[in-house]
């Protein structure tokens, strides 16, 4: 599976060489590599993600002791980064980023969204293959409408994101919620082999919404980040996405398997319960996006702008 990345990467190298702008000539600058910050952040994220991604393999409550360990490590990381910055050095993560509303809201929203959007592929393919007896190829084809919708709308969203701003992302999240609810309805109404056809339209709608969320949010979230911090800010967004995906798969997967065991193999019911949890994460992301839109409109009102200028 990972071999697929190799030809794509090889094709991207000459395109990057040709299309990416050359770095501007500037005086040689000294950079600090913050090794302790790297160790604390890396160890904290591993401690946080490990019990989540290994939730089915590691049975027992002792595994979850890594969560408070992660909290301590990440707290130590924040304290160290604050101290490192005050000493006039270049930290691994500039905590000033969290003062940017566009970045903070965008990072929180995308973390919640990945917690809800990623588990769809996990529980839907489990339901199709284990519950309905679909082959791997049939299950992959059944979820293809989601991928197609996402690809199409991502191309469109990238062109109109600066026209509609965060409202575009909120609209995309609403489409995802509609798609998830529609998928639940389709599974309920057509619980047998016809499920793959019944879920075609709602999955397409959810995919269209996803394409209006991920790429536009990336552009909006990084829009106010200083250029010299863009790499760090983008990397932190990826960390948030990975944490959200791990939390979502652990939560939704646990509900799915628990329901399947309680109902003695009723995978339609297990899928429905798992998707309700996933939809809850997406709704939470939608709430964050709507709050961001409302705050942005309030800040940019003519009377607010005029009063701030007068002050």
Per-residue pLDDT tens over the stretch 176-230: 999 999 999 999 888 777 899 999 999 999 999 999 999 899 989 998 888 878 8
Q: What is the DSSP letter of 111?
A: H
More confident: 241 or 22? 241
Q: How confident is the model at residue 307 (pLDDT cuts 50, 70, 90)?
A: very low
Residue 28 predicted with pLDDT over 60:
no
Say how far apart CA 125 and CA 122 lie, in whole Å.
Answer: 6
More confident: 37 or 311? 37
Q: How confident is the model at residue 63 (pLDDT cuts 50, 70, 90)?
A: confident
Closest CA to 261 of 97, 179, 203, 253: 253
Q: Is the distance from CB of 195 to CB of 126 less than 8 angstroms?
A: no
Say how far apart CA 195 and CA 207 lie, in whole Å.
Answer: 17
Q: Which residues contact 267 (CB under 8 A, 6 or more apart)?
A: 126, 127, 130, 131, 132, 260
Residue 309 predicted with pLDDT over 50:
no
- The pLDDT of residue 60 is 75
Count of CA atoms in the C-beta half-sphere (13 A) of 64: 7
- The pLDDT of residue 29 is 56
Q: Is the distance from CB of 167 to CB of 213 less than 8 angstroms?
A: no
- The pLDDT of residue 24 is 66
Say how far apart CA 258 and CA 264 lie, in whole Å.
Answer: 10
Q: How confident is the model at residue 308 (pLDDT cuts 50, 70, 90)?
A: very low
Q: Is the distance from CB of 203 to CB of 147 less than 8 angstroms?
A: no
Q: What is the DSSP letter of 129?
A: I
For residues 8-34, average pLDDT: 79
The superfamily CATH assigns to domain 99-297 is: MFS general substrate transporter like domains (1.20.1250.20)
Count of CA atoms in the C-beta half-sphere (13 A) of 144: 9
N-to-C CA span, the chain: 59
- The pLDDT of residue 303 is 58
Q: Is the distance from CB of 34 to CB of 89 less than 8 angstroms?
A: yes
Is this structure's pTM higher than 0.85? no
Q: How confident is the model at residue 175 (pLDDT cuts 50, 70, 90)?
A: very high
Q: Considering only 58-62, 138-142, 231-235, 246-250, which range has the smallest mean pLDDT?
A: 58-62
Per-residue pLDDT tens over the stretch 96-118: 888 888 899 999 999 999 999 99
Contacts 24+ apart (CB under 8 A), 138-143: 138/196, 139/196, 141/196, 142/195, 142/196, 142/199, 142/200, 142/203, 143/203
CB atoms within 10 A of CB 138: 14
For residues 44-50, average pLDDT: 87
- Between the ranges 51-55, 136-140, 302-306, where is the mean pLDDT highest? 136-140
The two most distant CA atoms of the chain are separated, in Å, by 68
- The pLDDT of residue 223 is 87
């Amino acid at each position: 599976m990972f071999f697929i990345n190799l030809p794509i990467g090889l094709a991207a190298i000459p395109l990057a060489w040709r299309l990416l702008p050359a770095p501007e000539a500037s005086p040689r600058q000294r950079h600090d590599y913050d090794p302790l910050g790297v160790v604390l952040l890396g160890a904290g994220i591993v401690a946080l993600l490990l019990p989540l991604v290994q939730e089915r393999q590691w049975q027992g409550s002792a595994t979850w002791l890594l969560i408070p360990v992660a909290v301590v490590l990440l707290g130590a990381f924040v304290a160290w980064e604050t101290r490192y910055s005050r000493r006039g050095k270049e930290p691994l993560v500039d905590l000033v980023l969290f003062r940017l509303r566009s970045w903070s809201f965008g990072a929180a929203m995308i973390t919640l969204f990945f917690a809800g959007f990623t588990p769809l592929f996990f529980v839907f393919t489990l339901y199709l293959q284990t519950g309905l007896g679909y082959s791997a190829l049939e299950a992959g084809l059944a979820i293809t409408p989601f991928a197609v919708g996402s690809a199409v709308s991502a191309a469109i969203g990238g062109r109109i994101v600066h026209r509609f701003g965060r409202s575009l992302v909120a609209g995309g999240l609403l489409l995802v919620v509609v798609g998830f609810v529609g998928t639940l309805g389709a599974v309920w109404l057509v619980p047998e082999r016809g499920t793959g056809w019944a879920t075609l339209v709602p999955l397409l709608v959810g995919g269209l919404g996803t394409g209006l969320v991920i790429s536009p949010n990336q552009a909006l979230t990084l829009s106010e980040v200083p250029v010299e911090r863009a790499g760090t800010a983008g990397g932190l967004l990826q960390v948030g996405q990975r944490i959200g995906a791990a939390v979502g798969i652990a939560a939704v997967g646990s509900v799915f398997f628990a329901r399947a065991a309680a109902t003695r193999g009723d995978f339609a019911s297990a899928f429905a319960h798992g998707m309700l949890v996933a939809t809850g994460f997406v709704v939470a992301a939608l709430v964050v996006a709507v709050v961001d839109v409302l705050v942005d409109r309030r800040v940019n009102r003519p009377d607010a702008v005029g009063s701030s200028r007068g002050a």
